[in-house]
């Protein structure tokens, strides 16, 4: 009964938050990912409810997330001709975004004289959580820190990414999608697909490519 309650709670909270987000004119501070996350973390932190029960109850969402990511191959296939028109520019953006994303966090950590395991944990802040944890653990990082930083990074990108891109004059949907997917991984991709099929496809391509390159190259660089 408890696990079923958690399952219904997550579904209900997201549904209500999404309605509120749409009716507000998509205000950043009412993003449907942020509000349920804050509420659920607060409940788990300030009560004696066991996280293990919540994790079991919401495992189905992990499965659905994997299915959703795989399903993005459809818009990617439909829009691949538009994405591959400028391979040099897209590859440059992916590499630059990946290096800047990891480097900015690592530089701050080194400046703050963080321990080596914390620094290692920050290299993966712009790839999806499962990949980040899998990559960091063998390298001596702290998976919990990586997971938190990855989620916060994706949430920030989803909240303000489109507005920041428009503010600096990036209005091409492929360019916006590449930026969102490279910097904000799954959450950036999910926000992109809200805007358009093409933007979502570009974000899916960027997320997959950035995650794969990071997972393959980081162990070689730090090993």
Dihedral over alpha carbons 199, 209, 28, 152 (to 10 degrees): 170
Q: Which pLDDT does position 138 carry in this prediction? A: 86
User: Taking 60 as the threshold, does the pLDDT of residue 205 lie above it?
Assistant: yes
Predicted confidence (pLDDT) per residue in 69-105, tens digit: 777 778 888 888 888 888 888 888 888 888 888 888 8
| Better-predicted residue by pLDDT, 21 or 3 | 21
User: Taking 80 as the threshold, does the pLDDT of residue 220 lie above it?
Assistant: no
Angle between helices 87-111 and 173-195 (to 10 degrees): 80
Q: What does the pLDDT average to over 61-65?
A: 79
Rounded distance between C-alpha atoms, residue 120 and residue 136, angstroms: 7
User: Taking 60 as the threshold, does the pLDDT of residue 1 lie above it?
Assistant: no
**Helix runs in 30-172, H state only:** 34-46, 51-57, 59-71, 73-83, 87-111, 116-122, 129-136, 143-167
User: Taking 90 as the threshold, does the pLDDT of residue 180 lie above it?
Assistant: yes
Q: What does the pLDDT average to over 112-131?
A: 86
User: Taking 90 as the threshold, does the pLDDT of residue 189 lie above it?
Assistant: no
Q: Which pLDDT does position 66 carry in this prediction? A: 73
Residue whose tokens read 């358009």:
196
Secondary structure (3-state) at 213: helix
Q: Whose CA is closest to 161, among 147, 172, 177?
A: 177
Give the DSSP letter string of 160-177: HHHHHHHHTT---HHHHH
Residue whose tokens read 């480097």:
103
Rounded distance between C-alpha atoms, residue 176 and residue 61, angstroms: 27
Check if the beta carbon of residue 177 is closer than 8 Å to that of residue 201. Answer: yes
Q: Which pLDDT does position 137 carry in this prediction? A: 84
User: Taking 80 as the threshold, does the pLDDT of residue 43 lie above it?
Assistant: yes
- The pair of structure tokens assigned to 212 is 């794969």
């Amino acid at each position: 009964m408890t696990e079923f309650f958690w399952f219904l709670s997550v579904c209900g909270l997201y549904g209500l938050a999404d309605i509120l987000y749409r009716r507000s004119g998509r205000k950043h501070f009412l993003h449907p990912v942020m509000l349920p996350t804050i509420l659920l973390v607060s409940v788990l932190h300030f009560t004696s409810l066991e996280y293990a029960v919540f994790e079991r109850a919401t495992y189905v969402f992990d499965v659905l997330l994997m299915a959703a990511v795989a399903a993005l191959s459809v818009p990617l296939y439909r829009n691949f001709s538009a994405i591959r028109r400028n391979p040099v520019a897209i590859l440059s953006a992916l590499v630059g975004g990946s290096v800047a994303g990891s480097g900015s966090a690592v530089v701050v950590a080194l400046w703050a004289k963080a321990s080596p395991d914390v620094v290692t944990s920050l290299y993966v802040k712009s790839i999806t959580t499962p990949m980040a944890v899998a990559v960091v653990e063998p390298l001596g990082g702290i998976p919990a820190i990586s997971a938190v930083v990855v989620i916060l990074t994706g949430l920030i990108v989803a909240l303000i990414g489109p507005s920041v891109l428009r503010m600096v004059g990036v209005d091409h949907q492929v360019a916006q999608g590449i930026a969102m997917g490279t910097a904000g991984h799954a959450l950036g991709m999910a926000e992109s697909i809200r805007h358009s099929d093409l933007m979502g496809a570009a974000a899916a391509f960027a997320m997959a490519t950035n995650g794969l390159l990071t997972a393959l190259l980081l162990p070689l660089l730090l090993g």
